[in-house]
């Protein structure tokens, strides 16, 4: 799982077009501008097998929110279902629908846990193309980019 965050004065987006894996969305939300002030925009790239990282990711994002003192957390999720090492492998036994379900579970869990801790959270609708505009608080500062991975026990 990769977590990328950026503190922003404003973040504005509007969904435009569904992709083949888009979540259901009220038709009135399509084309409507969503605007957030004083926010932390967090992009979460969920990779295969990342379901077990939900609690760890929540902890990391909470720490970033606390350090930034942002009033709102906006989560943009994406699925990295095939790693570069796997792109030429035989993926015939791979179940894409269950992987997408896992991605949605991870994103929903993150949003729910952050809300349980008192954070104001907005989850950008998964699987939709959208137009976005952000005004970073510190344009010259690099984004925070964190990679979380499961630690496997050494073979015995």
pLDDT at 148 exceeding the cut of 80:
no
Average pLDDT over the chain, rounded to an integer? 84
Question: pTM, whole model, 2 decimals?
Answer: 0.83
Predicted confidence (pLDDT) per residue in 35-44, tens digit: 999 999 999 9
Nearest to 68 by CA among 103, 90, 41: 41
State the average pLDDT over residues 93-97. Answer: 65
Q: Is 7:71 a contact under the CB 8 Å cutoff?
A: no
Non-local (6+) Cβ contacts of 114 within 8 A are 58, 61, 62, 65, 73, 121
Domains and CATH numbers, the chain: 2-23+33-84+96-147 (3.50.80.10)
Instruction: Give the Cα separation of 136 and 139 in Å (integer).
Output: 5
């Amino acid at each position: 799982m990769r977590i990328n965050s950026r503190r922003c004065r404003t973040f504005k987006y509007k969904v435009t077009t569904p992709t083949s894996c888009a979540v259901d969305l009220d038709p009135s939300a399509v084309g409507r501008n969503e605007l957030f002030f004083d926010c932390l925009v967090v992009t979460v790239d969920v990779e295969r097998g990342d379901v077990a990282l939900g609690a760890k990711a929540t902890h990391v994002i909470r720490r970033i929110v606390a350090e930034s003192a942002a009033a709102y957390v906006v989560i943009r999720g994406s699925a990295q279902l095939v790693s570069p090492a796997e792109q030429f492998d035989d993926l015939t036994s791979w179940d894409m629908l269950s992987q997408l379900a896992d991605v949605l579970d991870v994103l929903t869990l993150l949003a729910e846990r952050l809300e349980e801790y008192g954070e104001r959270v907005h989850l950008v609708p998964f699987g939709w193309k959208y137009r976005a505009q952000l005004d970073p608080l510190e344009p010259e500062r690099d984004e925070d980019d964190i990679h979380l991975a499961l630690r496997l026990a050494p073979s015995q």
